[in-house]
Amino acid sequence: MSDNTGAAPNPPRDLHEHLAALDAAGLLVRIDRPINKDTQLQPLVRWQFIGGLPEDERKAFLFTNVVDSKGKRYDMPVLLGALAGSPRIYAMGMGRPTSEIGPAWMEAVANPVPPVTGATGACQEVVISGEALKQPGGGLAMLPVPISTPGYDAAPYLTATLCVTRDPDSLVQNTGMYRAALKATDRLVVRMVARPGGAGGWVHWQKYRDRKERMPISIALGGAPVVVFTSPQKFSLDLDEYAVAGAVAGAPVEMVKCLTNDLLVPANSEIVIEGYIEPDLLEPEAPFGESNGYVALEAFNMPMQVTAITHRRNAIFSAIISQVTPSESSVIKKVAYEPLFLHHLRKTLNIKGLKRVVLHEPLTNLRPVIFLQFEYGAPQSEIWRALQAASSYITAFGKVVIAVSDDIDPSSVDAVLWSMAYRCNPKDDTLVLPYRGGGQGAQYGDRKTESALLIDATRKRLMPPLALPKKEFMEEALGIWNELGLPALKVPSPWHGYELGNWGDDWTQFAKNAVEGNWEANGLQTLARQRSGLGAETAVRSVEKKS
């Protein structure tokens, strides 16, 4: 990823400051014409992810004239793509270039800065509670919540959420980015990942269920990007996400106590929805388009009774593009998870020769497919240690892990497949690990366990050059292409030839003669080396080295 981010020297303190920075950088598209939140809004922004735009050309979209399918017009604007429309946008929210994001998260986890609590906050400038929550068109219905997957989703969904719950034993809060379906003006159904290694909120809910006590929950929307970015992170359950956010921001996150429960939420949030989840009630939720590329079908999840909605006077409703990746949801994770894996493998496990970790994003949603890039000559024992460690580091990550050498761009699937095709002997270079827990998407089948496939597709010997023209000739041709005004190109990797060790000075001279028009000199040289008594396709080196 490019470091040319235009990032501010410090992270923005709230969503409005971030929006102003995006606008100044030319990364905000303002849409003032009427847009239907139920049918048009998400599909319009989705096109920048599936329409072939380069990552750095993606932008945030601010919709100021939002309507619904019944003709209702909303006073509150809707913002999409402002959190992680691209790594560049994410970096602006972090206030640092992309190359510093991974180390910043590692440093913040190691040195958290506890939040501070004030008496009030901007998120409580407007309060809606009591009977006002039940009025037709009131409560949740007043929020311009878009439908994420028109044609499949069963309801408008909150997506860019900070779902705050508290462990009833340790009293440590946890924040997760969970989807929440609108069911009534005062009721949501929240889906928390219910499996071992799953959501912190689900772990808390289990404890409240055992106690037969209702669980307080608050959902904050909007706020400083560094605060929101903690929500999908994989921190330990005893680590307060807001303390990590404070370390990234360089100052404590300001919190405020909710009005109808005892939870603390970021004071600069745009909107806060307060309420409770009963311990013994579950309600059908979904269908909803999932980031694993399939529509999640109905399942029983946690109904949340809303007790209050508070918001800023000039609130902006913030959502994310999720569903099939690449998406805003996957960028939020990718930018942070890749350095997390690299740090774990290189620093914690001290694996030698590892250069990069790339989580595959398009369609697969980062988790199942992981690419590891190694220096040529890295010990095979280290390669296999890394393959197994990457597959077991985080639950549901690493169903397929592939190691490649440093001449292969691990973000280019074509290059990885080429490496697998010509550098991997399946008999010797693959390993299947059984008895993995069911990953994301396991709900679509009957299997309770999965397996993992580990592939060593690294270069294990010296090889001939990649059969593309040398770099200088491709660069010259590209200049002519642009000079002629031909269609803009996406330059893939690899885009020029390069040597891989199995090459000699005589062949370099042959190639030099050829491009200089002196190919006949090559013919004179090989004429003198003619032999009889050999079979066709006999390697020259195998004969001439013996003579």
Right CATH for 349-456 from 3.40.1670.10, 3.40.50.450, 3.30.499.10, 3.10.20.90: 3.40.1670.10
Count of Cβ atoms closer than 10 Å to residue 341 Cβ: 24
Measured distance CA(177)–CA(191) in Å, rounded:
10
**Element (DSSP H or E) covering residue 203:** helix 200-211
For range 309-316, the mean pLDDT: 98
Count of Cβ atoms closer than 10 Å to residue 484 Cβ: 7
Long-range contacts of 254-257 (CB under 8 A, 24+ apart): 254/115, 254/116, 254/117, 254/118, 254/121, 255/115, 255/116, 255/117, 255/118, 255/121, 256/117, 256/118, 256/119, 256/120, 256/121, 256/123, 256/124, 257/117
**Element (DSSP H or E) covering residue 338:** helix 328-343
Q: At residue 120, what is the residue type?
A: T
**In terms of Cα–Cα distance, which of 469, 474, 434 is closest to 450?**
434
pLDDT tens, position by position, 211-253: 999 999 999 999 999 999 998 887 788 888 999 999 999 999 9
Which CATH architecture best describes the domain 15-318? Roll (2.30)
pLDDT tens, position by position, 382-410: 999 999 999 999 888 999 999 999 999 99
Strands 317-318 and 78-80: parallel
Report whether pLDDT(326) > 80.
Answer: yes
Query: pTM (2 decimals)?
Result: 0.86
pLDDT tens, position by position, 256-283: 999 999 999 999 999 999 999 999 999 9
Which token pair is 267? 């004071």
Q: At residue 474, what is the residue type?
A: M
**In terms of Cα–Cα distance, which of 204, 2, 217 is closest to 88?**
2
Q: Using pLDDT thresholds of 50, 70 and 90, give the confidence band for residue 325.
A: confident
For range 105-134, the mean pLDDT: 95
How does the average pLDDT of the chain come out, rounded? Answer: 92
The DSSP code for 544 is H
pLDDT tens, position by position, 327-343: 888 888 888 889 889 99
Q: Using pLDDT thresholds of 50, 70 and 90, give the confidence band for residue 183.
A: very high
Q: Using pLDDT thresholds of 50, 70 and 90, give the confidence band for residue 285.
A: very high
Measured distance CA(251)–CA(264) in Å, rounded:
17
How buried is 504 (Cβ within 10 angstroms: 0-12 exposed, 13-18 middle, 19+ buried)? exposed
pLDDT at residue 8, rounded to an integer:
40
For the chain, what percent of residues have pLDDT higher than 90? 79
pLDDT at residue 439, rounded to an integer:
57
pLDDT at residue 196, rounded to an integer:
64
The answer to whether 72 touches 143, Cβ cutoff 8 Å, is no
pLDDT at residue 441, rounded to an integer:
54
What order do you get walking across the sheet with 369-374 strand by strand?
A: 354-359, 369-374, 400-405, 449-456, 430-437
Report whether pLDDT(1) > 50.
Answer: no
Domain map of the chain by residue range? 15-318, 349-456
β-bridge mates for residue 301, sequence order: 283
Report whether pLDDT(131) > 80.
Answer: yes
Report whether pLDDT(358) > 60.
Answer: yes
